């Protein structure tokens, strides 16, 4: 009776550092069928143990800038030390058209860029239970050892959290399994949206009543 649009959903997951975004995404990719995370491009050098085409597509700055000019990215950013990172547009569009759900871990600025191109994008913001817990996680991670680095991370987190109203959903990552379950529930409900209906074949009222009357449950 109902034919749904089989196009995949584009899902963006954002949040401050150490909120647990990557952990949530990895669990979703393990447990959800037909869900993928396309490989991004970067101009930074490949690190030991990384594999081209698996961790990133590693290309030169010149090649990256050429792709920018050709409008080949959904979003891109130039980060510290002048290196580029970007999400390939054609690969994402092709996967969506085959019915794949796509999950991207993107910062608040990149999410805004993509939302303009794809208004139907599902935006989910992941939060730590509290700022105190966020600070504890930043320190425990050990990537930033100097106090000014930790303060910088914390200030950036405050700025990102102020963008939460631009998102469709917010999930607190207190216990990883609970956070994953909440995000998965969001994605299931999004598949049931009325605006995904392409065709609705509803019989007229007389036909409907006739079928009810001749149904075996109404003949006794």
Per-residue pLDDT tens over the stretch 61-105? 999 999 999 999 999 999 867 899 999 999 999 999 999 999 999
Inter-CA distances, 109 with 54, 152, 159, 166, Å: 24, 18, 11, 11
Question: How does pLDDT run across 95-117, given as a tens digit for each residue?
Answer: 999 999 999 999 999 999 899 98
pLDDT in tens, 175-199: 999 999 999 999 999 998 888 776 6
Q: Cα 17 from chain centroid?
A: 16
Does the pLDDT value for residue 163 go beyond 90? yes
- How far is the C-alpha of 172 from the C-alpha of 130, rounded, in Å? 9
Please indicate, yes or no, whether residues 24 and 81 belong to a single structural domain of this protein. no
Whether residue 135 sits in one domain with residue 59: no
**Of 34, 24, 26, which Cα lies nearest the Cα of 177?**
24
Residue 23 sits in the same domain as residue 90: no
CB atoms within 10 A of CB 138: 21
Domain boundary among 55, 81, 98: 98
Q: Position of tokens 């590693």? A: 58
Same domain, 131 and 196: yes
Q: Are residues 118 and 199 in the same domain?
A: yes
Q: How far apart are CA 126 and CA 22, in angstroms?
A: 10
Question: For position 117, what pLDDT does the model report?
Answer: 87
Same domain membership, residue 167 and residue 113: yes
Is the domain of 111 the same as that of 67?
no
188/159 same-domain check: yes
In this structure, what CATH number is given to the domain that contains residue 120?
Answer: 3.40.50.300
Q: Which domain holds residue 19?
A: 2-34+101-218
CA dihedral (42, 39, 108, 78) in degrees, to 10, reads 10
User: Are 30 and 42 in the same domain?
Assistant: no
pLDDT for 112-151, tens place per residue? 989 998 999 999 999 999 988 888 887 787 655 577 777 8
Residues 87 and 105 in one domain: no
Would you say 21 and 15 are in contact if contact means Cβ atoms under 8 Å apart? yes
What DSSP string describes 123-138? EEEEE-S-HHHHHHHH
Question: Do residues 49 and 119 both lie within one domain?
Answer: no
Same domain, 61 and 150: no
Question: Domain boundary residue among 98, 116, 140?
Answer: 98
User: Whole-model pTM?
Assistant: 0.82
pLDDT for residue 197: 74
Tally the domains of the chain: 2
DSSP calls for the chain: -EEE--PPPEEEEE--TTS-HHHHHHHHHHH-TTEE-PPPEE-SPPPTT--BTTTBEE--HHHHHHHHHTT-EEEEEE-GGG-EEEEEHHHHHHHHHTT-EEEEE--HHHHHHHHHH-TT-EEEEEE-S-HHHHHHHHHHH-S--SHHHHHHHHHHHHHHHTTGGGSSEEEE-SSHHHHHHHHHHHHHHHTT-GGGEEEE----HHHHHHHHHHSGGG--
The tokens describing 7, both together, are 């196009």
Determine the Cα–Cα distance for residues 72 and 153; give it in Å rounded to an integer.
Answer: 30
What's 64's domain CATH number? Answer: 3.30.63.10
pLDDT of residue 103: 97
Q: From 54, 73, 98, give the residue that closes a domain.
A: 98
């Amino acid at each position: 009776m109902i034919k749904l649009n089989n196009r995949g959903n584009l899902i963006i997951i954002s949040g401050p550092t150490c909120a647990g975004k990557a952990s949530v995404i990895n669990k979703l990719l393990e447990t959800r069928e037909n869900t993928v995370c396309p490989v991004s491009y970067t101009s930074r050098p490949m690190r030991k143990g990384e594999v081209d085409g698996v961790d990133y597509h590693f290309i030169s700055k010149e090649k990256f800038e050429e792709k920018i000019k050709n409008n080949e990215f959904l979003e891109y950013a130039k980060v510290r030390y002048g290196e580029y990172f970007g999400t390939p547009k054609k690969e994402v569009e092709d996967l969506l058209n085959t019915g794949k759900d796509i999950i991207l871990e993107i910062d608040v600025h990149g999410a805004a860029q993509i939302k303009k191109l794809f208004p139907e994008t599902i935006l989910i913001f992941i939060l730590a239970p509290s700022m105190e817990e966020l600070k504890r996680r930043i320190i425990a991670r050990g990537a930033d050892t100097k106090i000014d680095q930790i303060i910088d991370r914390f200030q950036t987190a405050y700025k990102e959290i102020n963008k939460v109203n631009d998102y469709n959903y917010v999930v607190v990552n207190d216990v990883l399994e609970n956070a994953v379950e909440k995000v998965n529930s969001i994605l299931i409900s999004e598949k049931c949206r009325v605006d995904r209906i392409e065709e609705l074949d509803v019989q007229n009222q007389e036909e409907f009543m006739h079928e009810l009357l001749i149904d075996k449950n109404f003949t006794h």
